[in-house]
């Protein structure tokens, strides 16, 4: 049985006080949930958010990492620094890093492997552009992003990988994949895992959906057999809406 995950990607939003108030609101409203809840705040606030989340089951992750241990990499942040401030998870390959910041599949793979090698749990984001979907290329794009992203990742290491299927056309646009569209892509990804790893890895790996998830569509999306939770952007910035999504996750 795969535990549902509801993860909030705050992107480049919030300030220190807002982020800490958001976590306080989540703590106050979380109650008994069966979901694993993770927040991904901006780098400068990570330590404060870890402290604010103390005493709750909320986990804290980073939106990115760099592939070296330390040294002359101006502006970058290492896994040791992230773990030092209490981060357990990291996002890699988010569509904004791929398409706004020009991150290639090879770098996504290096980041995924660095996170895994250094003991972090890695959320690998994949998803097609609208023009790729319209050209019936969804499967080939997912195949390429999965093959690259997971190159050199062993079956054992897959225990620390989560996949986030995030169709780029649904991120921050208000356009959500229908539950059937999400399920179709997730089923493709699960079969990919079976083909390239094993039925055990396919069965155990959590595949999250991301793209304009809100309290009113979360339950139906997460209710699909191969959708194991949500990666949420905009709606994770208010405690009420994020809690509504967590409630929808069951």
Residues annotated as catalytic are 94, 166
CB of residue 134 to ligand PEP, shortest distance in Å? 19
d(CA 234, CA 71): 34
CB of 211 to ligand PEP, least distance (A): 5
Which residue's CB comes closest to ligand PEP? 233
Q: How far is the CB of 167 from ligand PEP (least distance, A)?
A: 9
C-alpha to C-alpha distance for 211 and 186, rounded to whole angstroms: 13
Per the document, the length of the chain is 250
Closest CB to ligand PEP among residues 221, 231:
231
Least Cα distance to 201 among 158, 137, 160 occurs for: 158
Q: Based on the shown chain and the rule CB under 6 A, indicate whether residue 205 belongs to the binding site for ligand PEP.
A: no
Whichever of 126 and 171 has its CB closer to ligand PEP, that residue is 171
Q: Which stretch binds ligand PEP (CB under 6 A): 14-22, 53-61, 130-138, 210-218?
A: 210-218
| Beta strands 5-9; 121-126: pairing state | unpaired
What residues between 138 and 177 interact with ligand PEP by CB under 6 A?
A: 166, 171-172
Please give the size of the binding site for ligand PEP, defined by CB under 6 A.
Answer: 14
Find the binding residues for ligand PEP in span 217-246 (CB under 6 A).
231-235
Kindly provide the b/e burial profile for residues 231-241, where b requires at least 16 CB atoms within 10 angstroms of the residue's own CB: bbbbbbbebeb
Residue 199 CB, nearest approach to ligand PEP (Å): 29
DSSP state, residue 68: S
- Does 210 participate in binding ligand PEP (rule CB under 6 A)? yes
Structural contact between residues 77 and 45, judged by C-beta atoms closer than 8 angstroms: no
- CB 127, CB 209: distance < 8 Å: no
Closer residue to ligand PEP, CB minimum distance, 19 or 78: 19
- The DSSP bridge partners found for residue 165 are 126, 209
User: Residue 30 or 168: which CB sits closer to ligand PEP?
Assistant: 168
Q: Tell me how far apart the alpha carbons of residues 88 and 59 are, in angstroms, rounded to a whole number.
A: 7
Among 4, 5, 6, 9, binds ligand PEP (CB under 6 A): 9
* Residue 172 or 223 with smaller CB distance to ligand PEP: 172
The dihedral of CA 220, 221, 227, 228: what is its sign? negative
Q: How far apart are CA 14 and CA 123, in angstroms?
A: 22
Q: Give 70: exposed, middle or buried? Use CB within 10 Å, 0-12, 13-18, 19+.
A: exposed
Q: Is 248 in the site for ligand PEP (CB under 6 A)?
A: no
**Binding to ligand PEP by residue 183, rule CB under 6 A?**
no
Residue 63 is a binding residue for ligand PEP (CB under 6 A): no
Site of interaction with ligand PEP (CB under 6 A): 9, 11, 166, 171-172, 210-213, 231-235
């Amino acid at each position: 049985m795969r535990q549902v995950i509801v993860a909030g990607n705050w992107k480049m939003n919030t300030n220190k006080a807002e982020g800490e108030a958001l976590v306080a609101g989540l703590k106050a409203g979380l109650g008994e949930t069966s979901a694993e809840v993770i927040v991904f705040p901006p780098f400068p606030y990570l330590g404060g958010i870890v402290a604010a989340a103390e005493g709750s089951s909320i986990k804290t992750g980073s939106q990115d990492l760099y592939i070296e241990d330390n040294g002359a990499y101006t502006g970058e942040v290492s896994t040791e620094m992230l773990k030092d401030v209490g981060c357990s998870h990291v996002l890699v390959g988010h569509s904004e890093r791929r398409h706004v910041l020009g991150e290639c599949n090879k770098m996504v793979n290096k980041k995924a492997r660095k996170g895994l090698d250094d003991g972090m749990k890695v959320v690998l984001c994949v998803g097609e552009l609208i023009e790729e979907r319209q050209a019936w290329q969804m499967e080939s794009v997912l195949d390429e992003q999965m093959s690259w992203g997971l190159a050199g990742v062993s079956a054992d290491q897959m225990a620390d990988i989560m996949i986030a299927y995030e169709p780029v056309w649904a991120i921050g646009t208000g356009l959500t994949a229908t539950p059937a569209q999400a399920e179709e892509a997730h089923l493709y990804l699960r079969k990919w895992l079976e083909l390239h790893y094993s039925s055990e890895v396919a069965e155990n790996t959590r595949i999250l959906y991301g793209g304009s998830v809100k309290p009113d569509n979360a339950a139906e999306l997460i209710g699909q057999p191969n959708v194991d939770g949500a990666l949420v952007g905009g709606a994770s910035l208010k405690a009420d809406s994020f809690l509504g999504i967590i409630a929808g996750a069951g």
